[in-house]
Structure 1
C-alpha cells in the first residue's frame, strides 16, 4: 500500500540541533534542518502549519516538561523529537533517567500525531566523539526500541559517515553547518516517504591534510572561543538557552519561503 505523504503540519521538539544553531539566516536568526524541511513541505501543501519548540541547551527532562505537553496538544501530522544528547555530554549522566524520560516523551507524543520522527543524531569525528560514543550508542538502542514499540520513524544520521566529517561542523564543534542542516532536512524528507532530490549521504571531496601548526591554531581558537565558555556554563549550572523562548511557539500557517519571513531572535 502506498504511503500517504500529504503532510499538513509539523512540530519540532528538541534542543540546539533542532533549533538550527550554526545555520544562519540572512536576518541573523538560525534556520536549521527543521525550518528547511518546513520550507519544502509548505511549497508542497497549501496552508501548511509549523511550530518549532526547540531551545538550545535543553536537557531531556526540560524537553519533557516544557515542550512535550505543548507538542502533544497541537496534534500535528508530523512531530520530530530529538533529545538526550546534551545529557550524554555531561560528565555525570544518569542514563537510566535519560531512558525513562525519553520513553515518557515518546509515549505522550506517539498517540497525538500521524508520524513521530526519532533520530540517531550525528556526531563529529574526533576525540570528544570517541569519549562519548558509548553513551550515544546506548541512547540510540533505546530510540530503536521505542520506535519499534510505538510505530515511530527513525532517521539514522549517526550511521552516515559524511555527517561525521568535520567540514560539516561549525567552529564550535557541536553544531552542523548550513550544508549539514541541508543534508539532515533531505534525510528526514526521504524518511517521510517524499521523493529524493539527492543522495544526502554522498561524501565530500577529499580534503588536503592540514599541517600541524594549522591544527594547533584551530584547537587553541576552539578552546578560547567555545570550550572555555561551555565549561564555564557547566560549572555555574547555566545553559545557553536560559531565558530564550522557542522561535515558533505556535502551530501557525507557514508561508512559502518562510525562511525569509521568520522572526529574529538572539544568537
Structure 2
C-alpha cells in the first residue's frame, strides 16, 4: 500500500505496545503505538486503530491471544513487538520466541497486512545488572531479522541507534520506555514506513548530562534492584504476571482523536 494510505492499523504485543511508561492506568496510557496511530491519522483522517497488546505477555501468549482477533480485523498495517518478557525468563530460546513471531508475521502478511516489527536495544547498557542478558538480546534480534526477511516484514532498527540506551528514554524501572522513549520509537517506525513528515531525527542524541560518580552509580543500581528487580523476580517465582486479569485497551478498530496540538 502506498505510504500514508493505511486506514486499518492493529498493534499486537506486550506492555511496551500497551504503553506502560507513557501515562498511567488512571489517566490512560498513550505509548508508541498510540503515537504512531496519531501520525497515521494526521496523514489520513480515515484511520481506524486497535491495540490488542497486554502487559506481561510472552510471545507465545501474544500469538495465542492476539493473532486471530488481529487477522479478523483485516488490518492493512500491523505492528508485532514481543519477546522482552521471554528473554527475562530463566529458560529462554531465541529460536522459539522468533518462531512465534514468525507465525504472526506469516499470518498477518498472508491476510494482506504490511507488518512492522522492532529490534531491541542492549539492556545491559540500560541496566548494568542486566549485562548477562546482552547475548540473549543480540541473538533474538538476529532471529527477528531473519524471520522478518522471509515474510517481507519491515524492521525498525531501534537497536542500532546509540540514543536507544540513553537512560532518559526509559522509566525508573528500566524495562519500559519513558514518554520521550515512546515518542522516539513511534518516530522510528514512522520513518521506517516513510510516512509524511517523518525523518531520522529520532536517532539524534540528547544533550550531554552530568556523569554520576561511581558511588552514586552503585547506589542507583542498588535502589533499582530493591525497588524494581526484587519485586519483578518475586512475581516470576510465584507465577504471577502484571497482566493477570487484564484485557486489551482498544480491542476494536476505532478512529483516534488527535492531541490538541496536532489538530488543524
TM-score by length of 2: 0.91
Q: 2 CA distance for matches of 1:196 and 1:254?
A: 19
Alignment of 1:178-193 (within 5 A): 178-193=179-194
Greater shift after overlay, 127-136 or 35-44? 127-136
2:233 aligned with 1:209, yes or no?
A: no
Tell me if structure 1 keeps the 8 A contact 2:4–2:43. Answer: no
| 1:156 counterpart residue number | 157
Tell me if structure 2 keeps the 8 A contact 1:73–1:112. Answer: no
Alignment of 1:182-261 (within 5 A): 182-194=183-195, 195-196=197-198, 199-257=201-259
- Give the RMSD, CA atoms, in angstroms: 2.2
Say which SS state the counterpart of residue 172 (structure 2) adopts: coil
Q: 1 CA distance for matches of 2:44 and 2:2?
A: 16
Greater shift after overlay, 216-225 or 232-241? 216-225
- Greater helix share, structure number: 2
Counting matched residue pairs gives: 259
Note the alpha carbon deviations across 1:29-75, whole angstroms, 9 max, x for none. Answer: 22111111111211221221000111111001100100111111111
| 2:115 counterpart residue number | 116
| 1:107 counterpart residue number | 106
Tell me if structure 2 keeps the 8 A contact 1:39–1:258. Answer: no
| 1:7 counterpart residue number | 6
| Unaligned residue ranges in structure 2 (runs of 5+) | none
2:40 aligned with 1:41, yes or no?
A: yes
Tell me if structure 2 keeps the 8 A contact 1:79–1:113. Answer: no
Say which SS state the counterpart of residue 198 (structure 2) adopts: coil
Instruction: Give the Å deviation of 1:214.
Output: 2.6
TM-score by length of 1: 0.90
Q: Where does structure 1 differ by over 6 angstroms across 4 or more consecutive aligned residues?
A: none
